[in-house]
């Protein structure tokens, strides 16, 4: 499939930050025709997924129809499809249902998936936190274990109220903090028959600290906030095994639990392995400074799918802001290339890093500046920063309404145990 | 399971309008202990489900946590569980997971399910519209057929854009009208490659008119509004067969379609057949005027699960307002009975009937008074009436915000094709 006229055809695989930023950068240029392919009909706003998992906001607050996003753009076509194979030499993408897209410029931005590092049982039994589907399943699972403990409080002795979060990066810290607040603010009132005070959240990481990319002061602050919220830190500790009933740690400790949340790292989407391109660290595709794959000047690889060279050495981290900027930069390089100008090396504009530890405590670090945010200010400022990244005005307003409502009313959002396709909890195991 | 003290134990099965109204009526009375059992952890606000199905509002706008609803009520216990068997003589309920609840007063309010009237293929292939799960599946299915037509526009010739709504009562009319608007306002813009103007919605009913409980003037008005919206009426026509690829009508017509929406009537929840109580019309349990089952003065059957005698003859219709009032009345009768006073016969306070045909046209009939509502007034008034029935203030505010936002911006809500467990569309069959 190729546009009939003389336009250049840009085929983008993936409607995450990188893919939509690239499509947006090209949308105003009428000599370009863009086809954006995603396996979902929606963009998912990943930084807020942990709030869906912990019933703070609704799934629809973090998902936005891709067709709606590009509704005004005549030269952007959205296609629902799963990219099954890529031929970088021919610049074609073949979908699982057999459609073949012929590109002049191919943009691969299929994102990442959880990296379970081949730890036995992790992929089968842990709940990852990368997609909207993951977040909805996790929300139902959290409610499911509380319901089970309510049905039979003896199950608390079987680890029903133990929660293990693996990985103390931003996602792991945010989900652990939000889960602690969910339990403290909501579950204690809604499950009066359950000994909710016995609930324990373990945050496990093989590193020496939580939030390792942040400064030492932030480490100390975040650890203090988490411990005050009741999160038990297990640092310098790896995970050796996950079963339906427990987690085995590298120090020999066994934590009985029915819910292990996996925030332990990312690897490239399976598409990387089907692209015919060389994979580097994390299964990601190594790219040149101009974001193209070596030897394929018409093939761009962006965001979490790529190892993007950091001018100061190594690769850039897997962050939404990196993905977004690679998308914009690739768009500019495609425009340059199409008009005979040279492609330029990607320069990351570091806007800082942030993590929301609890609803009233966040850390934001911009270059050398470090901010600790406390109280309602933390919540609203943090939301403002995210809102500025958000893709649709509708999302911004609704998430803001729901968020502030929920913040000031101390009332929880949609605690819907609505996933009926979860595996049954096996209480017999261990 | 029974409260340990001398309180009377009221066990309510079902957290719909009837069940929660009964629990609320008893909640303030400290000599009562109430156990409310539901297979979901949420109450679903059924009158707005068609808006979830047509992407106007989010699933969480029509679902409300039962635990949250009764959080302030010390004497109400919410239990997640599916009632598997009822013994009306012993006044016990046994759940699928084996818990047994011993009641002093047993209240059965398990609601209804779609009645497919044994029409071949209907249960297997049609999409019902009774639960939140139904509405979410229907939303994804609507988007799925449009995505398929976008992938291969030739499928329009296979009936991809034909929609058959079976049943022209309030639910059928509302879903047909809302679907017509979804297609006209949104799909035409979001699927530029699809010949959306070829989409057809058929509204099929064996009766002589749409909205039969309403007056003749309302029939004429509703039919005109629906036809103007592009809905094709097939009245005095039954359905003989539903297959994955078509619907066969009683007049011999075959409509090729991949989406048959079933709003063709209700029958009692399967619990009725497991209750040991005599079932009447629609599989519902016949009750005495005081809402108890004949021969079992401690067993109440409410709402859509019951055939409730209408003092003017016949049975009362299956309406949310009837369910709500039977719940309140049963609560009062239980209180009377427990204090040695006589139970009184249920008196339905008819507050009228209403249906929203499109976003700018509704009919409301209160006794002899008939109202046609047009334009923004229709929408907001209609919402106001529903809001007054709503169970949680949070829902009210959010649904209102989302609704008015969506109304005035003409922007559609969460068009998320997020159900991955739908059956694959079989294009081979016709």
> What DSSP letter does each residue of B289-352 carry, written as one string?
TTSEETTEEEEEE-GGGEEPBPTTSSB----HHHHHHHHHHHHHHHHHHHTTPPP---------
Instruction: State how far the Cα of A64 lies from the Cα of A70, in Å rounded to an integer.
Output: 11
Q: Which residues have CB under 8 Å from B253's CB, separation 6+? A: B234, B237
In this structure, are residues A160 and A148 in contact, taking their beta carbons and an 8 Å threshold?
Answer: yes
Residue A418's pLDDT band (boundaries 50, 70, 90)? low
Is the CB of A417 less than 8 angstroms away from the CB of B41?
Answer: yes
Q: Which of A58, A71, A189 sits opposite B60 (nearest CB)?
A: A58
Q: Which of B409, B412, B416 sits opposite A42 (nearest CB)?
A: B416
The 3-class SS string of A377-406 reads HHHHHHHHHHHHHCCCHHHHHHHHHHHHHH
* CATH number for the domain running over B122-264+352-409: 3.50.50.100
- As beta bridge partners, residue B234 has B204
Using the 8-state DSSP alphabet, how is residue A279 labeled? Answer: B
| Average pLDDT across chain A, whole number | 88
pLDDT at A397: 45
State both tokens at B415.
């068009």
Mind giving me the DSSP string for A189-232? Answer: HH-TTS-GGG-EEEEE-SSSSSSTTS-HHHHHHHHHHHHHTTEE
Instruction: State how far the Cα of B216 lies from the Cα of B124, in Å rounded to an integer.
Output: 35
In this structure, are residues A152 and A135 in contact, taking their beta carbons and an 8 Å threshold?
Answer: no
Judged by phi (left if over 0) then psi (alpha if -120 to 50, else beta), residue B172 lies in: alpha
B173-206: b or e for each residue (b if 16 or more CB lie within 10 Å)?
bbbbbbbbbbbbebbeebbeebebeebbbbbbbb
Instruction: State how far the Cα of A215 lies from the Cα of A258, in Å rounded to an integer.
Output: 34
A283-316: b or e for each residue (b if 16 or more CB lie within 10 Å)?
bbbbbbebbbbeebebbbbbbbbbbbbeeeeebb
In this structure, are residues B161 and B152 in contact, taking their beta carbons and an 8 Å threshold?
Answer: no
Tokens 């990351």 correspond to what residue? A348
In this structure, are residues A44 and A61 in contact, taking their beta carbons and an 8 Å threshold?
Answer: no
The domains spanning A8-113+267-338 and A116-264 adopt the same CATH topology: yes
In this structure, are residues B93 and B36 in contact, taking their beta carbons and an 8 Å threshold?
Answer: no
* CATH number for the domain running over A8-113+267-338: 3.50.50.60
pLDDT at A68: 86
Give the residue with greater pLDDT, A369 vs A187. Answer: A187
Backbone φ, ψ for residue B95 (5° rounding): -90, 165
Nearest CA in chain A to B421: A421
**Rounded mean pLDDT of A386-409?**
48
State both tokens at B23.
């629990």
Is the CB of B80 less than 8 angstroms away from the CB of A397?
Answer: no
pLDDT at B1: 56
Query: Angle at Cα A192 formed by Cα A191 and Cα A194, nearest 5°?
Result: 65
pLDDT at A396: 46
Is the CB of B405 less than 8 angstroms away from the CB of A412?
Answer: no
Provide the Cα torsion A407, A410, A416, A422; round to 10°.
80
Query: Hey, where are the domains in chain B?
Result: 8-39+81-114+267-338, 122-264+352-409
pLDDT by residue for chain B (430 residues), tens digit each? Answer: 555 557 999 999 999 999 999 999 999 898 999 999 999 999 998 888 998 999 888 888 788 889 988 888 889 999 999 999 999 999 999 999 999 999 999 999 999 999 999 999 999 999 999 999 999 999 999 999 999 999 999 999 989 999 999 999 999 999 999 999 999 988 998 899 999 999 999 999 999 999 998 989 889 999 999 999 999 999 999 999 999 999 999 999 999 999 999 999 999 999 999 999 999 999 999 999 999 999 999 999 999 999 999 988 889 999 988 999 999 999 999 999 999 999 999 999 887 788 888 888 888 787 666 666 665 566 566 666 555 554 444 444 445 445 444 444 445 556 767 666 666 666 665 5
Contacts of residue B65 in chain A, CB cutoff 8 Å?
Answer: 190, 412, 414-416
Q: At CB < 8 A and 24+ separation, what contacts does A210-217 make?
A: A210/A168, A210/A172, A210/A173, A210/A235, A211/A168, A211/A169, A211/A170, A211/A173, A211/A355, A211/A363, A212/A168, A212/A169, A213/A169, A213/A317, A213/A353, A214/A353, A214/A355, A214/A363, A214/A365, A214/A370, A215/A365, A215/A370, A217/A370
- As beta bridge partners, residue A203 has A165, A233
Give the H/E segment covering residue B19: helix B17-27
Using the 8-state DSSP alphabet, how is residue B288 labeled? Answer: -
Instruction: State how far the Cα of A213 lies from the Cα of A316, in Å rounded to an integer.
Output: 12
Give the residue with greater pLDDT, A47 vs A171. Answer: A171
pLDDT at B388: 56
Instruction: State how far the Cα of A292 lies from the Cα of A345, in Å rounded to an integer.
Output: 10
State both tokens at A209.
């600290």
Q: Which of A77, A174, A223, A365 is catalytic?
A: A174
How many Å lie between the alpha carbon of B145 and the closest alpha carbon of chain A? 11
Is the CB of B405 less than 8 angstroms away from the CB of A413?
Answer: no
**Rounded mean pLDDT of A305-324?**
91
pLDDT at A168: 97
pLDDT at A410: 45
pLDDT at B3: 52
In the A/B pair of chains, how many CB contacts fall below 8 A?
A: 121
pLDDT at B37: 98
Q: Find which of A1, A75, A394, A422 to mutate to test the B interface (most B CBs within 10 Å of its CB).
A: A394
Record the pTM.
0.89
Q: Which of B158, B174, B223, B365 is catalytic?
A: B174
pLDDT at A240: 98
**Closest to B414 (Cα-Cα) out of B45, B58, B53, B48:** B58
Instruction: State how far the Cα of B26 lies from the Cα of B11, in Å rounded to an integer.
Output: 11
pLDDT at B401: 47
Q: Which residues have CB under 8 Å from B297's CB, separation 6+? A: B337, B343
**Closest to A290 (Cα-Cα) out of A278, A299, A277, A279:** A299
Q: Give residue-wise pLDDT tens across range A136-194.
A: 999 999 999 999 999 999 999 989 999 999 999 999 999 999 999 999 988 998 899 99
- Other Cβ atoms less than 10 A from the Cβ of A421: the count is 9
State both tokens at A135.
């977040």
**Whether A82 is catalytic:** no
Cα radius of gyration rounded to whole Å, chain B: 22
Spacing of C-alpha B336 from chain mean position: 31
Q: Which CATH number fits domain A116-264: 3.40.50.620, 1.20.210.10, 3.10.20.30, 3.50.50.100?
A: 3.50.50.100
ipTM of the complex: 0.85
Q: Which CATH number fits domain B8-39+81-114+267-338: 3.40.50.300, 3.30.1360.70, 3.40.50.1820, 3.50.50.60?
A: 3.50.50.60
In this structure, are residues A300 and A103 in contact, taking their beta carbons and an 8 Å threshold?
Answer: no
How many Å lie between the alpha carbon of A186 and the closest alpha carbon of chain B? 9
pLDDT at B374: 62
Q: Is the pLDDT of residue A393 over 50?
A: no
Instruction: State how far the Cα of A410 lies from the Cα of A218, in Å rounded to an integer.
Output: 27
Helix, coil or strand: residue A158: helix
pLDDT at B429: 54
Q: Which of B41, B60, B415 sits opposite A68 (nearest CB)?
A: B415
């Amino acid at each position: 499939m190729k546009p009939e006229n003389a336009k250049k055809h840009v085929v983008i695989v993936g409607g995450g930050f990188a893919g939509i930023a690239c499509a947006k950068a090209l949308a105003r240029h009428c000599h370009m025709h863009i086809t954006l392919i995603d396996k979902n009909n929606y963009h998912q706003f990943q930084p807020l997924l942990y709030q869906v998992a912990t019933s703070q906001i609704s799934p629809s607050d973090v998902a936005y129809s891709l067709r709606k996003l590009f509704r005004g753009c005549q030269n952007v076509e959205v296609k629902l499809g799963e990219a099954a194979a890529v031929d970088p030499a021919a610049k074609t993408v073949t979908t699982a249902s057999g459609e073949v897209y012929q590109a002049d410029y191919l943009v691969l931005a299929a994102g990442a998936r959880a990296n379970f590092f081949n730890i036995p049982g992790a992929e089968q039994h842990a709940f990852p936190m990368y997609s909207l589907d993951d977040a909805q399943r996790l929300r139902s699972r959290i409610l499911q274990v509380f319901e089970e403990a309510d049905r039979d409080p003896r199950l608390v002795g079987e680890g029903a109220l133990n929660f293990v979060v693996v990985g103390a990066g931003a996602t792991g810290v945010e989900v652990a903090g939000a889960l602690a607040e969910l339990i403290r603010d909501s579950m204690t009132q809604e499950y009066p028959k359950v000994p909710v005070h016995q609930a324990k959240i373990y945050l496990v990481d093989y590193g020496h600290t939580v939030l390792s990319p942040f400064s030492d002061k932030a480490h100390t602050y975040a650890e203090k906030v988490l411990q005050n919220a009741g999160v038990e830190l297990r640092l310098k500790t790896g995970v050796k095994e996950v079963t339906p009933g427990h987690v085995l740690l590298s120090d020999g400790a066994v934590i009985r639990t029915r819910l292990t949340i996996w925030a332990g790292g990312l690897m490239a989407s399976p598409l990387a392995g089907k692209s015919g391109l060389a994979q580097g660290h994390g299964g990601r595709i190594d790219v040149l400074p101009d974001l193209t794959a070596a030897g394929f000047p018409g093939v761009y690889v962006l965001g979490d799918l790529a190892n993007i060279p950091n001018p100061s050495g190594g690769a850039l981290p897997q962050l939404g802001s990196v993905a977004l900027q690679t998308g914009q930069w690739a768009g500019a390089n495609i425009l340059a290339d199409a008009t005979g100008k040279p492609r330029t090396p990607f320069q990351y504009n570091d806007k800082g890093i942030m993590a929301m530890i609890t609803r009233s405590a966040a850390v934001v670090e911009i270059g050398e500046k470090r901010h600790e945010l406390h109280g309602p200010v933390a919540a609203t400022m943090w939301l403002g920063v995210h809102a500025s990244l958000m893709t649709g005005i509708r999302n911004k307003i609704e998430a803001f309404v729901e968020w502030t409502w929920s913040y000031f009313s101390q009332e929880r959002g949609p605690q819907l145990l609505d996933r009926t396709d979860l595996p049954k909890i096996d209480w017999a195991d261990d």
